Amino acid sequence: MTDHEWYELVKAGEDAGWKLVWEKVVEPESKSQRSAELMKRYSLTAGDLMGMLYEDMLGRRKIDLYRDDGGSFQGWLRTYVRGYILGADPNKHGEISIDGAYRDGEGESEAMNIPKHDHEVVRREVWQMTLWCFRELWNEDPERCYIHLLKTRFFFSSEEVRDFLDISSSANVDQIFSRSIKFMRQRYVYHDTHPKG
């Protein structure tokens, strides 16, 4: 089974995929000398780790952060499991914090590499923000949106836009288009520096 096939099974919550997670990731890690010692100290079982991994991957959709571009799926999952072990703080009465894993000081460098961002996720966020700004542009004046689309999506010349929307001159089209770009940029910067919530 390829990493891609394995990833798809895990993502779909299929037993066959999660059985491999147990066999290739959780159980071997829990039996490694260093992890076994920490787990014993923090009263963690391999079953606990499996539960946390399942909750994170499917419950919190961390599985979507895996790029599936040829990197080791096993290694990626193992990084999470090590993070759970290293981040287990007995002073928190059993609460586990993956974020604290690399502040623990006991970890190895791999624990530092827990993926928190993914290019695909960032790209999606940028696109959603662009759509949001475009909606605001619509509320300002729909004509600006039409010009924006005609120029950037349909590759109309300024003369063609002028004729299409019955605008007085192509210079006027250019001016409106230029203001639209400026507006979008300003709104983007505003939303980027004033995030909601």
Partner 1 sequence: MKTPEGKTITFTFMSQPTKDPKGCWVAKLTFPGGSGEDSILPIEIVQGDGSPVPDAIFEFAGRRLAVRDGKARISFADFVRGKHESALWLHRKDFASPIPGGLTFA
Indicate which single residue of 149, 171, 189, 192 sits in contact with partner 1 (rule: CB under 8 A).
149
Residue 146 interacts with partner 1 (CB under 8 A): yes or no: yes
Exposure letters 66-75 (e unless 16+ CB within 10 A, then b): beeeeeebee
The minimum distance between CB 85 and partner 1, in angstroms, equals 40
Indicate which single residue of 164, 174, 184, 188 sits in contact with partner 1 (rule: CB under 8 A).
164
Q: How far is CA 68 from CA 17, 30, 171, in A?
A: 15, 25, 48
The minimum distance between CB 13 and partner 1, in angstroms, equals 23
Name 68's Cβ contacts closer than 8 Å, sequence gap at least 6: 3, 4, 7
* Whole-number CA gyration radius for the chain: 25
Task: Name which of 131 and 189 has its Cβ closer to partner 1.
Answer: 131
3-class DSSP state for residue 34? Answer: helix
Task: Name which of 70 and 197 has its Cβ closer to partner 1.
Answer: 197
Q: Which residues bind partner 1 (CB under 8 A)?
A: 131, 134-135, 138-143, 145-146, 149-150, 153-154, 156, 160, 163-166
